[in-house]
Structure 1
């Protein structure tokens, strides 16, 4: 099937848009997770790239009003037939449309490592690697691992493990599944869900409903909500996740901030925000930081509204909240004036446009 990009209605913005890879073995529930994200977007705008558009419960007519909203890639699997440059151009096009996040739904046989490499190679200041969501079927995990050993490697590189269909296993069995996942990947948070109910806030950093700004095309999420609003409509609660944030007029110690981004606290999935670096040559702009699973991206942008300061958030599942709070507080400790090279720990991650 052709791989296609579908973009919901949006507005241009200057921030980096997270690109999330949604992967998992056949039948684990990737499409269920994607549909849940779209149905519960609550005003968020998603760009979606899928290998098999027909597998997603969204009719193509829903986006036909935007002639530039659908882009065709080469036939076949994304990681086999699309190069990093082509993917980078497609992602940049989506980001420029004003979406809050981009989701790549990989086919069940796609190689997650190859997709991660491609997204990271498609370096563009308008997009940022948003992590690999790897979906597993709680009831079939052991069988899948036994019959398809390569899945162990897929689990090992995930930034967030979505343990789906937990309603089909007992509590004791779920504990066994969690332990097996942690044995394969000791750093990725494990999010246990039913019916693919992943909260869109994990991807979009809490971006929510937007004020009406005149007539516009309905988003996919709004159309799906209308479709589901009949007498048999039902909803699934999002799986819980935690976040810890700081807002301060104080600058950061760039060395300590880099350490937090590269080695986040237990249970952390993402860390992002705008920060003030109070050093000569660095005060005139904000540093936009974004880290997922040890992958760090730093960019520069004008101060929003001209107001300087530091705003950071750590998001995770099973997050060590106390450790996250302490780590955030620590980055505000004044830097050692004699640490001339401390800022290099942060700026070495800076991404610039081509």
Structure 2
């Protein structure tokens, strides 16, 4: 165990949850309502293009990113330790570090990285696991490993209750209590929770080590072993009509899509932030920051994706004649939920 006095040790909170559960939305809420806490953020996205970092950077400049793989597989690589040391070191003014894990990370392995960290200025601040109330039951049918993720949580956030039916909400609550009866459950929408619920988390370290020992004995495959991702970047504007057709005809293997879209047409110069989980789509417009070069960055995550075909289809969304785009071309995009 670490010998550093508690007052010099910075808690590291692991923010986890399956794809599209609302982790980044919750994190941005915490950054906006931080109660005076100085928060360091480490964002890990499964794809090479870290879309979540782009979305979090709108709220804070104290952000480090770990892209191109799942953080729970980086034991010994040093990337996480290097990122932690940027925030947690003797004399640091950081109050808390939040690691936003990828949507298919293993919470127990993440706990292991923090509990066994050689950095004596950090301690495990707990695992906060975000759950999509509208999709939990259906998602677990396809991804049984999520049950183990829920069991590893120190705080459960039942998110998106505003779009969940009464039956979905009741079923989700029942399942969460069955899987982790001793862990508090916070119900919310849009990730809106009181930051004090997180920053005061101080899990029992013996309990965490026991969970890790059990995990080491199981030798189970990681959930993300079955997943693949497609990363797309373009400095050229996308065609609204072509991208709308692309979204409407996504193959069923793509479970999650998120990104920043650049259309570049008169009247729609802003960047469009888009999220798609299953059949649920949300999007909104934001102004480009002065230091940003307009471009589209998209990540699609799913099981057994034909990555070459999907990249080819995304490339076809680039508009060959952006100067000829008319405002009417945005009609299909605006019909998508969020406008």
Give the structure-2-normalised TM-score. Answer: 0.52
Question: How far apart are the structure 1 equivalents of 2:163 and 2:149?
Answer: 23
Q: In 1, distance between residues paired with 2:101 and 2:59?
A: 22
- Of the candidates 72, 75, 80, which is equivalent to residue 87 of structure 1? 80
Return the offset for 1:74: 7.1
Aligned to 2:301: none
Which residue of the partner structure matches residue 294 of structure 1?
207
CA distance in 1 between partners of 2:64 and 2:160 (Å)? 33
Q: Distance in 1 between matches of 2:98 and 2:116?
A: 17
* 1:59-78 paired onto structure 2 within 5 Å: 59=57, 63=61, 75-78=68-71
Counterpart-to-counterpart distance in 2, 1:62 and 1:156? 31
2:123 corresponds to 1:128: yes
Q: Conserved in 2, the CA contact under 8 Å of 1:156 and 1:185?
A: yes
Note the residue ranges of structure 1 that are not aligned, 5 or more in a row.
1-12, 64-68, 206-269, 272-289, 297-354
Alignment correspondent of 1:100: 95
The verdict on how the C-alpha distance between 1:59 and 1:90 changes in structure 2, with shifts beyond 3 A counting, is closer
Partner of 2:38: 45
Corresponding residue number in structure 2 for 1:277: none
Aligned-pair CA distance for 1:43: 2.3
SS in structure 2 at match of 1:180 = helix
Structure 1 position 83, deviation (Å): 2.4
| Aligned mates of 1:75, 1:81 — CA distance in 2 | 11
> Secondary structure, in 3 states, of the residue corresponding to 1:168?
coil
Give deviations 1:192-230, integer Å, cap 9, x for gaps. 11110122112334xxxxxxxxxxxxxxxxxxxxxxxxx
Q: How far apart in 1 are the matches of 2:199 and 2:168?
A: 32
- Residue 159 of structure 1 contacts residue 293 of structure 1 at CA under 8 Å; is this kept in 2? no
Q: Classify 1:59/1:176 alpha carbon distance in 2 versus 1 (closer, same or farther; 3 Å).
A: closer
Aligned residues: 197
Gaps of 5+ in 2: 1-5, 210-339
In the alignment, is the contact (CA less than 8 A) between 2:156 and 2:184 conserved in 1? yes
For residue 335 of structure 1, what is the aligned residue in structure 2?
A: none
Aligned counterparts, 1:314-325, within 5 A = none
TM-fit CA distance, 1:58:
3.5
- Tell whether the 8 Å contact from 1:23 to 1:112 is kept in structure 2 after alignment: yes
Q: CA deviation at 1:76?
A: 2.2
The separation in 1 between residues aligned to 2:163 and 2:63, in whole angstroms, is 37
Q: Deviations over 1:239-293 (max 9, x none)?
A: xxxxxxxxxxxxxxxxxxxxxxxxxxxxxxx45xxxxxxxxxxxxxxxxxx7468
CA distance in 1, matches of 2:115, 2:124: 6
2:13 to 20, 29, 42: 20
CA RMSD of aligned residues (A): 2.8
- Structure 1 contact 84–118 (Cα < 8 Å) conserved: no
1:320-335 mapped onto 2 (5 Å cutoff): none
Change beyond 3 A, Cα 1:15–1:139: same
Moved more, 165-174 or 196-205: 165-174
Once residues 38 and 59 of structure 2 are traced to their aligned partners in structure 1, the CA distance between those partners, rounded to angstroms, is 17
What is the alpha-carbon distance in structure 2 between the residues aligned to residue 36 and residue 61 of structure 1? 9
Q: With structure 1 as the length reference, what TM-score do the two structures score?
A: 0.50
After TM superposition, give the deviation of residue 86 of structure 1 in Å. Answer: 4.8
